[in-house]
Chain A
Amino acid sequence: MRGKIAALALGVASALVLSGCVASPQTPSGQDTGPQDITFWLIGNDTPQSLRDYLVGQYKQVNGGTLTIEEQTWGDIVTRLTTMLPDSANTPDVTEIGNTQSPTFTNVGAFADITDMYSQLGGDKLLQSFVEVGKVEGRNYTLPYYFGSRYMFYRKDVWAAAGLTAPPKTLAEFNQSVVALTEQNPKAIADFSGFFLGGQDWRNGVSWIFANGGELAKKGANGQWTSTLSDPATVKGLTQLQELQLKASKAPSTAKDQSPWLYINDSDSITDTAGAVTGSTTLAAGTIMAPGWAHWSIGDLTKNDAGRDVRQWNDDTFGVFALPGNDGKPAPVFAGGSNIGISAASKHQAGSRELLTIIFSDTYQKMLGEQGLGPANKDHMSTLGTDQFAQALIDSASNSKLTPAAPGWASVEASNRLEEFFQKVADGADITKLAKEYDDFITPMLNKK
């Protein structure tokens, strides 16, 4: 019974919060000491168990309280954040958040101001593009957690058979090579793509815009955001992209960025129990663009010790490179990854700040890098290692960019307008006209809170 009343009281308290009392400024939290039990939301399973264990143990040691880590899923995180982040009785104290979602939630006051901790947590050594999407009016609310970026995987055998040198040195050379590769189709495969890129896949396609100096949106002097699809530099990138879509990629124009690595593998060796071949080749692409961990799914088909069929990377057949820019340096590509922030409604600000200190400590940053997750602090980039995948990740990340830090960016993504736009580009639409049309759709969404 007592529990019920307490629960009811909490409920009433949360109702008060919901009805508008949350906007009160956060009290400086240095004073409230003592152990605090806090909850930390991680999204997806990218953070390995060993890192989670470290955080829990370290938090216990530093604060004395219990850290509970709960894993959320990317598909439903917005629903969860929308309902629970404002609810002080149930909010997570610290949460990971997708970097494209960060501006939207930061702008409505979902996160606590941590500007005073900024330099202590790494300051300007933190990835600035990520810091930017967590900033409002010069104050810091969310900071980078980890990054990943996309680079190119290619078939050495197919490129060689077409007489092409790889890796290409500039973006123009890349564009020409994959078109030539498609035309030659050295293995005579039906619907072969020299470079496989889904029509709606704007997260990869945007690299061509960035590489030509274009942007998706810009912030004006008046603080208002404008969609810049029709800017000349953006149009130049889109024109190159359209050429690739029409001449090098046979991917459906409605395809997004799911599992492109399926198209770069052979599967000749699939046989039934009698030894008869039942699988024909699935090879359909000479080149793909994918996140680094895709290399676990690319390779020759073999059996592992347990007798299960697995893919085994083969350096003779497969290779990687970072997409080159016009100047020969890596092109700016879209950076994946996430940010991290303290819920403004959390009652455990002190404990939450201690957790952030642990996460941004040298030890934890190194642990991230050693697991192949790009560390938030640039000083620890070298912990990613020295193999070809680490090298391609570091190269591609050196110049990577994020989506605009506009308050309405999440709305733009949810509206499906970018997918529509890129699909129409891939289908061969008149870019200049189309870009103006979509600028008109997107600009009002960008500034909506």
Chain B
Amino acid sequence: MSRTAIFSRVRPSRVIASVVALLIAAIWVFPVYWMLSSSLLPNVVLTSTRPRFVPWGGSWDNYLSVLSGGSFLRALAISLQVTLIAVAVSLIFAFLAALAISRFKFRGRKSFVLAVLFIQMLPAEGLFIAQYKMMSTAGLLNTVIAVSVLYIAAVVPFTIWMLRGFVAGIPAELEESAKVDGCSSVSAFFRITFPLLAPGLVASGVYAFLQGWNEFTIALVILPRQDMRTLPLWLRSFIQASQARETDWGQVMAASTLVALPVIIFFLIVQGRLTSGLVAGAVKG
């Protein structure tokens, strides 16, 4: 155990906790399993009354049909561009702002903090006309940059607050003492503050990534051209095309799996960062 668990000395309770944890894990993963399992089955099996829990007689047919158009890869590329720009830029902007509000007192600070909090309370469903007019007037329809800017604005408020919590959670004394030990401000920041911030950066980054990956309304309005579709637009038009006739659930589930896959891969990479003993290790090192 690299981390001190608060219940670490109570063995029986840990057994119970483990059982509960596994049970919860099973409940949480079931819909995901159901999506995967269904994506392997033909539609007529899926629409029968009794559910089939194990995909006996499954095949990759659904995936082959979904991928055959080639539109998936195009949408994947757009989604990756939009999302990665949004994540990178919003993390940088938010970190700078978080530093300002947690390390400095300045005139207008409170207004800034409140504005940041309130701006994210505006419902998005009524904004589409204004967003369209703005981007159309600027000649930025169908551009990655237009969507990225709107996504950055959508996630930056939360990211500022999330990071602020982490920056504030790092005692300034730590940096001070590092400086006393002979580190420069910059190196004190990179050796002390940044590693402590890592889980916050990862958590906010994951949040920003998911928001960008899943966002639908803005993309619908700002990216009307077919070859500029993001994955949610692609998935939705796929589902709707399917629903126009009989919904092919197997194909819909296969398409959903394909959209989820890059996120899952991203998560599994980041997962180590979120959960390893990085923080404790870094502080020690």
Contact = CB atoms under 8 A, between A and B. Distances in A.
Tell whether A pairs with B.
yes
B247 interface: yes
Given A79-B221, A308-B61, A89 B244 contact: no
A158 B284 CA distance: 78
5 contacts: A12-B137, A15-B133, A80-B224, A270-B48, A270-B52
List the 4 closest A-B pairs by CB distance, nearest first.
A7-B139, A279-B48, A73-B240, A83-B132
B18 interface: no
A164 interface: no
B14 interface: no
A90 B136 contact: yes
B245 interface: yes
A406 to B, nearest CB: 24
B6 interface: no
B46 to A, nearest CB: 10
A188 to B, nearest CB: 16
Given A10-B139, A273-B57, A296-B246, A308 B133 contact: no
B237 A73 contact: yes
A83 B244 contact: no
Contacts of B48: 267, 270, 279, 282
Nearest to B225: A70
Contacts of B236: 73, 75-76
Nearest to A3: B139
A399 interface: no
Nearest to A8: B139
Interface string A259-291: 101100001001011000011111000000000
Contacts of B244: 44-46, 74
B129 interface: yes
B24 interface: no
A262 B47 CA distance: 7
Contact of B49 (A10, A70, A280): A280
A225 B57 CA distance: 57
Contact of B245 (A10, A15, A293, A306): A293
Q: Give the size category of A's interface with B.
A: 35 or more
B246 A297 contact: yes
A170 to B, nearest CB: 31
B224 A310 contact: no
Interface hub of A6, A75, A272, A311 (most chain B Cβ within 10 A): A75
A308 B56 contact: no
Contacts of A75: 236, 240
B52 A310 contact: no
Contact of B129 (A12, A83, A270, A311): A83
A106 to B, nearest CB: 20
A62 interface: no
Contacts of A301: 44
B139 A278 contact: no
B52 A272 contact: yes
A90 B220 contact: no
Contacts of A310: 42, 44
Given A4-B139, A75-B236, A272-B52, A308 B220 contact: no
Interface of A: 4, 6-8, 10-12, 14-15, 18, 44-46, 70-71, 73-76, 79-80, 82-84, 87, 89-90, 258-259, 261-262, 267, 270, 272-273, 278-282, 293-294, 296-297, 301, 306, 308-311
Contacts of B32: none
B50 interface: yes
B155 interface: no
Nearest to A277: B50
Given A11-B139, A282-B48, 19 more contacts: A11-B136, A11-B137, A15-B137, A18-B137, A73-B236, A73-B237, A79-B220, A80-B220, A83-B128, A83-B221, A90-B136, A261-B246, A272-B52, A273-B56, A279-B48, A279-B49, A281-B49, A308-B42, A311-B44
A222 to B, nearest CB: 33
A415 to B, nearest CB: 16
A46 B247 CA distance: 14
B45 interface: yes
Contact of A79 (B47, B128, B133, B240): B128
Nearest to A74: B240
Contact of A294 (B42, B52, B246): B246
Nearest to B143: A7
B187 interface: no
B49 A282 contact: yes
A18 B132 CA distance: 11
A44 B133 contact: no
Interface in B28-68: 42-45, 47-50, 52, 56-57, 59, 61
A282 B47 contact: yes
A84 B141 CA distance: 11
Interface string B138-176: 111100000000000000000000000000000000000
A90 B247 CA distance: 32
B226 interface: yes
A14 B236 CA distance: 29
Interface hub of A4, A12, A270 (most chain B Cβ within 10 A): A270
Contacts of B61: 306, 308
Interface string B112-140: 00000000000000001100110011111
A338 to B, nearest CB: 12
Interface hub of B57, B128, B224, B236 (most chain A Cβ within 10 A): B224
Contacts of B261: none
Contacts of B47: 262, 267, 282
B183 interface: no
A259 B133 contact: no
Interface in B222-259: 224-226, 236-237, 240-241, 243-247
Nearest to B142: A90
A297 B140 CA distance: 44
A309 B136 contact: no
A150 to B, nearest CB: 14
A306 B59 CA distance: 11
Given A14-B136, A15-B133, A89-B136, A296 B241 contact: no
A44 B240 contact: yes
Contacts of B52: 270, 272, 278
